[in-house]
Amino acid sequence: MTKHVGILTAGGDSPGLNAAIRGVGKASQGYYGMQMIGFLDGFRGLVDNRFKRLDGEILSGILTRGGTILGTSRDKPHRMLFGGKTQDMTDVIVENYHANHLDALVCIGGGGTQKNALKLMEKGLNIITMPKTIDNDVGLTDVTFGFDTALGIATDAIDRLHSTAHSHHRIIVVEIMGHRAGWLALGAGIAGGADVILLPEIPYDLEVVADAIRKRSRSGKNFSIVAVAEGALPLEQAALVQEAEQRKLKATSKKDKKDAKEDLAQLSLEYANHTVLLSRQLEQMTGLESRVTILGHLQRGGTPSAADRLLATRLGTACADLIESEHYGVMVAARGDDSIPVPLEKVAGNKKLVPTDHPWVISARRVGTCLGKVD
């Protein structure tokens, strides 16, 4: 009997999503003879039952396109703004899944999507997920698609910032995305030869950073590139966040949990413009002029790299194989040259941060990069 597959993209967009949709679509329909529909705008499209058929020409010419032909959103099935209030819409999703006679639903996304997909799996749906995010922070996969493209964009930006920093004898503080993970800042910082790299995983001592820049000045290098991850924090702030997170984890009453959550929200508000603050502080401490570049959503846009197209196609076609063999409740992970299924319950909530002894961290130190903390 012909299998019916639904697919959606959720969370922030990232290069390689269309390559993944094409990979699943061409293999499942062209190779296995299934039928596939794509829900629009993430989980919201599944609630509204808005979809398009992914047959015929629609999958042609999208391999190289950035973004997602399906649209995306950060809507969560169990906490969705609907009819003016936040509601649990999982039962509606289950109804629509059955109304469309689906045999499987493919959810492509990052950490949040893996958790949302698990909730649908627990409601009895046949779910397969794929790991995409420029942050590269999904557990149990070597890499996520989107990361390589963003890495190239951020590295290119650092290359360009070098020549202007050098000409004006300035510090340039470049903020790189990655949410709470430092993969993108670390990778681009190393590849672009940043002099300082600051990561969420290694809270920084401002004095150590200023000192590294002063040392460069004394040796005649009176410009510096500081690559700072958007989630990087100075020591004092990181301690406050850690304390509030512990309180949230250990809270035994609703009130304690709410208080801890509010404190965390307040801390993140206070620190929203930390890159600008860091630049100002470094200017004062070193006497060098400093400028800020926030790369922002540029890192998510445009044509996917060859590596991301390859990864997304490889995981997409492996996903179709798993649907054919009815192997559900898994994420298709990249492991070496293989694409392997890993249980969704082990992936959901499993954030992959940069280990402080990761080979990239060690290499950065070996080439003399300041990581904001004395070894």
List of residues contacting ligand F6P (CB under 6 A): 12, 74, 110, 133-135, 177-179, 230, 300
By C-alpha distance, which of 366, 359, 363, 369 is closest to 204?
369
Which residue has tokens 């058929």? 53
Q: State which residue, 28 or 129, has the beta carbon closest to ligand F6P.
A: 129
SS3 63: coil
Position 347, amino acid: V
Measure the CA–CA gap between 42 and 242, rounded to whole angstroms: 32
135 is catalytic: yes
Hey, what long-range contacts does 79-82 have (CB within 8 A, 24 or more apart)?
A: 80/43, 80/44, 80/47, 82/47
Q: CB of 177: closest distance to ligand F6P in angstroms?
A: 3
Tokens standing for 318? 């492996």
Which residue has tokens 């951020």? 154
Q: State which residue, 184 or 210, has the beta carbon closest to ligand F6P.
A: 184
Tokens standing for 16? 């390689």
Q: State which residue, 170 or 274, has the beta carbon closest to ligand F6P.
A: 274
Q: DSSP class of residue 142?
A: S
By C-alpha distance, which of 168, 172, 219, 163 is closest to 195?
172
Measure the CA–CA gap between 27 and 21, rounded to whole angstroms: 10
Q: CB of 136: closest distance to ligand F6P in angstroms?
A: 10
The catalytic position among 13, 135, 137, 148 is 135
Tell me the HSE value of 59 on the side-chain side, using a 13 A CA sphere.
22
Q: CB of 122: closest distance to ligand F6P in angstroms?
A: 24
Residue closest to ligand F6P, measured at CB = 177
Q: CB of 210: closest distance to ligand F6P in angstroms?
A: 27
Q: State which residue, 25 or 110, has the beta carbon closest to ligand F6P.
A: 110
Q: State which residue, 147 or 204, has the beta carbon closest to ligand F6P.
A: 147
Tokens standing for 202? 């290694």
Q: CB of 350: closest distance to ligand F6P in angstroms?
A: 16
Q: CB of 114: closest distance to ligand F6P in angstroms?
A: 12
Which residue has tokens 């929203």? 272
Q: Which residues contact 346 (CB under 8 A, 6 or more apart)?
A: 139, 140
Q: DSSP class of residue 204?
A: B
Pairing of strands 224-229, 85-87: unpaired
Q: State which residue, 228 or 320, has the beta carbon closest to ligand F6P.
A: 228
Q: With contact defined as beta carbons under 8 Å apart, do 331 and 110 qualify? A: no
Active site (catalytic) residues: 135
